[in-house]
């Protein structure tokens, strides 16, 4: 089959403003959009810039807007798009550096603000073995351990677009992963951070993040659980 | 060309599991440390590892580090160095607990301990039956290791230079003096003056057409050292994982077979019974990959095509578990439900749905062997020090860990779960020893022309006046490696491959790049990476051609027997000034386990 790609292009060394370029190429219905980008770069225009690594949805490099929706280019097949006209653009809300590459630093800065690491200064068990955790306690935060920090959720959030101060859903997801881990002792610190102006209460439950997440994390639910923990002071 | 300079005690190249572990330990030891990664750290391929990390915790049944050691020696087809293997397997329980203490969310047993599952080649040494040794976090164990180590790096204020591609290593008087890197976002060259360097740059699966490896696994570290006159060890030993998704190569973890999945041919037979009567589908990867190739070659691929089925439907799992007499830890018969499998293998189910449009609970998964893991690489000792020759001479200040290194703990064939173990055990060693070395020594003076070679490499590519597309050269290389330097090899095929690779190296001198710019010139870097791959393709093929025996993953149809008399030794390959590759050999370290015939 033939597909038409309309790709957002911007090279700061050459272009005064962004523009779109169109490429027509042969594709298989089972091709990933990433395969098409590789084909364009290999045989049509080597200057096209995008990030990619694992090509199967676990590294989070190739988040971009595909027909208006934030996706990982390696997790969307041509046949799933329902059209042969494919528009590919960079994520919204972050500065475009070149073509489909955005500056991810503000995203990671928000992530780092929520203390996204295990906090527990108590000595581990004297036998040196693992801290115990029941399967139910482990299950409590399982969903949010899946996050690959691709940025798809945060850059599909209307509040994040409107307001650069909001931590965004990905940061909250990663705070949730620790807040509800029975072994962790940093919940209070994180909840105080997330109760600030730039924190969870900026979420307007638009569900855009949950719909977009390539790991199918129930992000809005996680945010609601963090909100509830702040309001009730309880972690159940 | 604009250039920036930096000074650090220790520079770590690569931010996967080995690099981050090294960074944590070097930083904690008080060395001023920087991590240079061509990706954001969380994009590293450690995150794609699925099934588990091996450690004889004995949480569900009897197990011992000694058994883990023997299984690894046997898995290596007796080419692994037994002192290094013993060191790794005895470190394993403590390091898994260390990861847990860092917060790693392992799956749990009913009594709250780290959950463990069976994996290929890991056995109860008394009965020969599979043992539950793989510690796992669902089917995203690597993801959780990578995330946890990155989280700890933030906690301990590790310094990162993200999206910096290291291009060259600077040695002065045979000692480390620095590395040269390009900031991908700006095209600026940076020279890092340093006392110690740890290479943790991962593997080179992108040499082959069908691979489980990321686009970025192009063997940069190994190729840089090779060009700088250092040897590469055992490059002919490259693992094909038995179960990659048909045509795509995406990994389907051995954990699927650990949970009871079986391989089925076109006649509906569970063919592994014929190849490994005791452990069947949980034989070593080299054994299973060869079995699949033979089934396909003899016409028993599904519909005569180049794949077989991996069947993990609950009814299939339960049928064969009953035949095998498999039991739960409490002695009850092993019976699974779709719900339980979904919980233990969520990502595998997601991959199957996304890329194949099938539900593995209702349909079998089409699979074929996929290029997966380099057993060979930069020769190191158990302190992760890089070795310059067959006598074990250390290169002062130079360290390597993880897939790019060859300690050798995997020998001729790696067992599943031992790569995640390798990266944390030897990443830690690299960090500790690099920091200790750096804190006890002075900087070597950095030559004025330190960056010249790297710059000339890039400028030659950027300004090349030919018309060859790099994709064409890469595709041809991948095809010939797949056809002739894969699961089965012959002298004829290897010779053909070598000739083709050498032609491709000529064509590579006449490429054309569209992008002459500085900012995110990923075409330029892809071209540079292809140069690395071509060098590694050549040394892999030369090493394979010389080894006239079959051992582990290196299977020569024209020499189908293991030959301990002549070949119980490691290959070392050097690139000499005239471009020729010189091969020399060094003995395998054998401590407790004299080589025996290998049956599963």
pLDDT confidence of residue B329:
85
Contact B89, B592 (CB under 8 A): no
pLDDT confidence of residue B67:
98
CB-CB neighbors (< 8 A) of B513 in chain A: 46
Give CATH for domain A2-102. 3.10.20.30
pLDDT tens for B203-253 read: 999 999 999 999 999 999 999 999 999 999 999 999 999 999 999 999 999
Complex confidence, ipTM: 0.98
Determine, for residues A61 and B43 on separate chains, whether the beta-carbon distance falls below 8 Å: yes
* Distance separating alpha carbons of residues B130 and B326, to the nearest angstrom: 10
pLDDT tens for A40-94 read: 999 999 999 999 999 999 999 999 999 999 999 999 999 999 999 999 999 999 9
CB-CB neighbors (< 8 A) of B103 in chain A: 117-118, 120, 178, 181, 183-184
CB-neighbour burial class of residue B298 (10 A; exposed 0-12, middle 13-18, buried 19+): exposed
Distances (CA, A) of A173 to A44, A177, B409: 39, 6, 38
Q: Kindly tell me if the per-residue pLDDT of B485 is higher than 90.
A: yes
Among A65-69, B165-169, B346-350, B520-524, which stretch is predicted with the lowest mean pLDDT?
B346-350
pLDDT confidence of residue A84:
97
Distances (CA, A) of B273 to B5, B277, B279, B301, B443: 60, 5, 8, 16, 59
CA of A184 vs chain B CAs: smallest distance (Å): 8
pLDDT confidence of residue B246:
96
Place of tokens 């490059």: B235
Q: Calculate what percentage of chain A has a pLDDT beyond 90.
A: 95
Contact B371, B212 (CB under 8 A): yes
- When scoring A54, A95, A151 by the number of chain B Cβ atoms within 10 A, the one with the most, hence best to mutate, is A54
Is B43 an 8 Å CB contact of chain A? yes
> Helices marked H in chain A — which ranges?
33-39, 105-113, 135-139, 158-162, 169-179, 187-194, 208-212, 219-232
* Distance separating alpha carbons of residues B236 and B67, to the nearest angstrom: 27
Contact B459, B23 (CB under 8 A): no
* Distance separating alpha carbons of residues B571 and B541, to the nearest angstrom: 12
Domain B254-369 has CATH 3.40.50.720: no
Residues of chain A with pLDDT under 70: none
Identify which of B89, B84, B96 has the alpha carbon closest to the alpha carbon of residue B136: B96
CB-CB neighbors (< 8 A) of B147 in chain A: 145, 147
The domain made up of A105-232 has a fold known as Fumarate Reductase Iron-sulfur Protein; Chain B, domain 2 (1.10.1060)
CA of A182 vs chain B CAs: smallest distance (Å): 10
Contact B244, B252 (CB under 8 A): yes
CA of A5 vs chain B CAs: smallest distance (Å): 19
CA of B520 vs chain A CAs: smallest distance (Å): 7
Helix (H, G, I), strand (E, B) or coil at B134: strand
* Distance separating alpha carbons of residues B29 and B18, to the nearest angstrom: 16
Determine, for residues B105 and A141 on separate chains, whether the beta-carbon distance falls below 8 Å: yes
State the distance between the two ends of chain A, measured CA to CA, in whole angstroms: 53
Identify which of B540, B564, B537 has the alpha carbon closest to the alpha carbon of residue B554: B540
Determine, for residues B517 and A13 on separate chains, whether the beta-carbon distance falls below 8 Å: yes
Determine, for residues B42 and A141 on separate chains, whether the beta-carbon distance falls below 8 Å: no
Query: Nearest residue of B to residue A38 by CA position?
Result: B471
From edge to edge, which strands make up the β-sheet containing B232-233? B232-233, B569-575, B581-587
Query: Nearest residue of A to residue B103 by CA position?
Result: A118
Is B353 an 8 Å CB contact of chain A? no
List the domain boundaries for chain B.
254-369, 452-569
* Distance separating alpha carbons of residues B345 and B338, to the nearest angstrom: 10
CB-CB neighbors (< 8 A) of A130 in chain B: 97, 100-101, 106, 113-114
Question: How many Cβ pairs within 8 Å bridge chains A and B?
Answer: 154
Contact A64, A73 (CB under 8 A): yes
Show the tokens assigned to B363: 């349909």
B 329-348: CB under 8 A from A: 347
Determine, for residues A112 and B517 on separate chains, whether the beta-carbon distance falls below 8 Å: no
Q: For residue B163, what pLDDT band results from cuts at 50, 70 and 90?
A: very high
Q: Kindly tell me if the per-residue pLDDT of B459 is higher than 80.
A: yes
pLDDT tens for B552-588 read: 999 999 999 999 999 999 999 999 988 899 999 999 9
Is B517 an 8 Å CB contact of chain A? yes
The answer to whether the Cα torsion of B279, B122, B362, B348 is positive or negative is: negative
As a whole number, mean pLDDT of residues B304-313 equals 97
Q: Is B285 considered catalytic here?
A: yes
| B408 prior amide bond cis, ω within 30 | yes
Nearest to A46 among B152, B350, B514 (CB): B514
Identify which of B129, B31, B8, B23 has the alpha carbon closest to the alpha carbon of residue B436: B31
pLDDT tens for B150-161 read: 999 999 999 999
* Distance separating alpha carbons of residues B507 and B466, to the nearest angstrom: 9
Q: Which residues are within 8 A (CB) of B84 and not within 5 positions of it... i.e. 6 or more apart?
A: B381, B382, B407, B408, B409, B589
- When scoring B27, B112, B156 by the number of chain A Cβ atoms within 10 A, the one with the most, hence best to mutate, is B112
Q: Which residues are within 8 A (CB) of A108 and not within 5 positions of it... i.e. 6 or more apart?
A: A149, B40
Nearest to A13 among B47, B147, B519 (CB): B519
Nearest to A129 among B97, B152, B354 (CB): B97
Nearest 5°: CA angle at B247, between B246 and B251? 60
pLDDT confidence of residue B3:
87
CB-CB neighbors (< 8 A) of B218 in chain A: none
Q: Which residues are within 8 A (CB) of B179 and not within 5 positions of it... i.e. 6 or more apart?
A: B11, B13, B36, B166, B168, B169, B170, B191, B192, B194, B197
Show the tokens assigned to B595: 């080589």
Q: Kindly tell me if the per-residue pLDDT of B378 is higher than 90.
A: yes
Q: Which residues are within 8 A (CB) of B411 and not within 5 positions of it... i.e. 6 or more apart?
A: B73, B75, B76, B77, B78, B79, B80, B81, B234, B237, B375, B552, B588
- When scoring A130, A171, A184, A218 by the number of chain B Cβ atoms within 10 A, the one with the most, hence best to mutate, is A130
Distances (CA, A) of B563 to B408, B492, B551, B555: 19, 20, 8, 12
Strand (E) or helix (H) holding B368: strand B365-374
pLDDT confidence of residue B563:
98
* Distance separating alpha carbons of residues A85 and A7, to the nearest angstrom: 11
Helix A169-179 crosses helix A187-194 at what angle (to 10 degrees)?
A: 160
Determine, for residues B110 and A14 on separate chains, whether the beta-carbon distance falls below 8 Å: no
Determine, for residues A124 and B39 on separate chains, whether the beta-carbon distance falls below 8 Å: no
CB-CB neighbors (< 8 A) of A133 in chain B: 108, 112
As a whole number, mean pLDDT of residues B179-189 equals 98
Helix (H, G, I), strand (E, B) or coil at A151: coil
CB-CB neighbors (< 8 A) of A50 in chain B: 522
Q: Which residues are within 8 A (CB) of B144 and not within 5 positions of it... i.e. 6 or more apart?
A: A145, B104, B105, B106, B137
Determine, for residues A77 and B48 on separate chains, whether the beta-carbon distance falls below 8 Å: no
Contact B25, B410 (CB under 8 A): no
Nearest to B185 among A52, A97, A108 (CB): A97
Q: Calculate what percentage of chain B has a pLDDT beyond 90.
A: 98
CA of A224 vs chain B CAs: smallest distance (Å): 22
pLDDT confidence of residue B1:
57
Distances (CA, A) of B335 to A81, A202, B328, B350, B571: 39, 47, 8, 23, 46
Determine, for residues B469 and A45 on separate chains, whether the beta-carbon distance falls below 8 Å: no
Is B227 an 8 Å CB contact of chain A? no
Catalytic pick among B117, B133, B285, B414: B285
Strand (E) or helix (H) holding B255: helix B255-258
pLDDT confidence of residue A164:
73
Query: What Rg, from alpha-carbon coordinates, does chain A have?
Result: 20
Identify which of B427, B432, B388, B438 has the alpha carbon closest to the alpha carbon of residue B404: B427
The domain made up of B452-569 has a fold known as Methane Monooxygenase Hydroxylase; Chain G, domain 1 (1.20.58)
CB-CB neighbors (< 8 A) of B144 in chain A: 145
* Distance separating alpha carbons of residues B490 and B32, to the nearest angstrom: 49
CA of A42 vs chain B CAs: smallest distance (Å): 6
Nearest to B151 among A59, A98, A117 (CB): A117
DSSP state at residue B559 = B
List the domain boundaries for chain A.
2-102, 105-232
pLDDT tens for B258-292 read: 999 999 999 999 999 999 999 999 999 999 999 99
């Amino acid at each position: 089959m033939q597909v038409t790609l309309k790709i957002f292009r911007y090279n700061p060394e050459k272009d005064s403003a962004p523009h779109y370029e169109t490429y027509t190429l042969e594709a298989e219905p089972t091709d990933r959009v990433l395969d098409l980008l590789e084909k364009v770069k290999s045989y049509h225009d080597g200057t096209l810039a995008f990030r990619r690594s694992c090509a199967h949805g676990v590294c989070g490099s190739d988040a971009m807007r595909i027909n208006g929706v934030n996706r990982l280019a390696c997790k969307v097949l041509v046949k799933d798009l329902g059209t042969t006209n494919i528009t590919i653009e960079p994520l919204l809300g972050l500065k475009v550096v070149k073509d489909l590459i955005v500056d991810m630093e503000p995203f990671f800065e928000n992530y780092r603000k929520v203390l996204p690491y295990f906090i527990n200064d108590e000595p581990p068990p004297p036998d040196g073995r693992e801290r115990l955790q029941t399967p139910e306690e482990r299950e409590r935060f399982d969903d949010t351990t899946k996050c690959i920090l691709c940025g798809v959720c945060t850059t599909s959030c209307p509040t994040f677009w409107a307001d650069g101060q909001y931590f965004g859903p990905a940061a909250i997801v990663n705070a949730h992963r620790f807040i509800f881990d029975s072994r962790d002792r940093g919940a209070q610190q994180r909840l105080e951070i997330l109760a600030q102006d730039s924190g969870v209460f900026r979420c307007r439950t638009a569900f855009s993040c949950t719909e977009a997440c390539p790991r199918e994390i129930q992000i809005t639910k996680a945010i609601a659980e963090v909100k509830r923990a702040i309001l009730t002071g309880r972690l159940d | 060309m604009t250039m920036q300079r930096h000074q650090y005690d220790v520079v770590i190249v690569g931010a996967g599991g080995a690099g981050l572990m090294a960074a944590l330990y070097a930083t904690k030891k008080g060395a001023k440390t920087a991590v240079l990664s061509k990706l954001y750290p969380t994009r590293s391929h450690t995150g794609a590892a699925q099934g588990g990390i091996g450690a004889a915790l004995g949480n569900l049944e009897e197990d011992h580090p000694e058994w883990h050691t023997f299984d690894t020696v046997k898995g290596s087809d007796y080419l692994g160095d037994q002192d290094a293997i013993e060191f790794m397997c005895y470190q394993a329980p403590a390091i898994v607990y260390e990861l847990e203490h860092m917060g790693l969310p392992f799956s749990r047993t009913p009594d709250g301990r780290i959950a463990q599952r069976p994996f290929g080649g890991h056995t109860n040494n008394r009965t020969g039956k599979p043992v539950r040794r793989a510690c796992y976090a669902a089917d995203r164990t690597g993801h959780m290791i990578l995330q946890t180590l990155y989280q700890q790096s933030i906690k301990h204020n590790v310094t990162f230079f993200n999206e910096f591609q290291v291009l060259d290593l600077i040695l002065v008087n045979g000692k480390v003096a620095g590395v040269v890197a390009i900031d991908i976002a700006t095209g600026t060259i940076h020279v890092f003056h340093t006392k110690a360097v740890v290479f943790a740059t991962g593997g080179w699966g992108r040499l082959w057409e069908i691979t489980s490896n990321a686009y970025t696994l192009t063997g940069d570290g190994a190729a840089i050292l090779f060009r700088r006159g250092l040897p590469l060890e055992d490059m002919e030993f490259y693992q094909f994982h038995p179960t990659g998704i048909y045509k795509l190569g995406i990994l389907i973890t051995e954990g699927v077979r650990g949970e009871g999945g079986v391989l089925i041919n076109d006649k509906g037979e569970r063919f592994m019974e014929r190849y490994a009567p005791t452990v069947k589908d949980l034989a070593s990867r080299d054994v299973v990959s060869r079995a699949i190739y033979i089934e396909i070659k003899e016409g028993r691929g599904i519909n005569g095509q180049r794949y077989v089925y991996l069947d993990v439907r609950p009814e299939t799992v339960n049928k064969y578990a009953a035949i095998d007499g498999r039991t739960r830890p409490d002695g009850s018969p092993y019976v699974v439900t779709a719900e339980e499998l979904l919980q233990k293998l969520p990502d595998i189910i997601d991959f199957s749905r996304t890329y194949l449009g099938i539900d593995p609970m209702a349909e079998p998964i089409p699979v074929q062997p996929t290029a997966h893991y380099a057993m060979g690489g930069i020769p190191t000792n158990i302190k992760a020090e890089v070795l310059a020759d067959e006598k074990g001479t250390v290169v002062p200040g130079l360290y390597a860990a993880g897939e790019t290194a060859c300690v050798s703990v995997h020998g001729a064939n790696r067992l599943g779960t031992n790569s995640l173990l390798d990266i944390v055990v030897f990443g830690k060693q690299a960090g500790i020893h690099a920091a200790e070395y750096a804190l006890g020594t002075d900087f070597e003076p950095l030559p004025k022309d330190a960056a010249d070679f790297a710059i000339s490499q890039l400028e030659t590519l950027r300004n090349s006046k030919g018309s060859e597309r790099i994709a064409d050269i890469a595709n041809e290389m991948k095809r010939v490696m797949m056809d002739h330097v894969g699961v089965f090899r012959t002298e004829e095929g290897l010779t053909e491959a070598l000739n083709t690779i050498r032609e491709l190296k000529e064509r590579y001198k006449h490429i054309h790049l569209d992008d002459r710019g500085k900012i995110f010139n990923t075409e330029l870097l892809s071209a540079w990476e292809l140069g690395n791959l071509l060098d590694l393709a050549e040394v892999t093929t030369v090493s394979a051609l010389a080894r006239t025996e079959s051992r582990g993953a290196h299977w020569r149809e024209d020499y189908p027997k293991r030959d301990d008399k002549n070949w119980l030794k490691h290959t070392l390959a050097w690139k000499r000034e005239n471009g020729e590759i010189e091969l020399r050999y060094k003995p395998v370290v054998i401590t407790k386990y004299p080589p025996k015939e290998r049956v599963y």
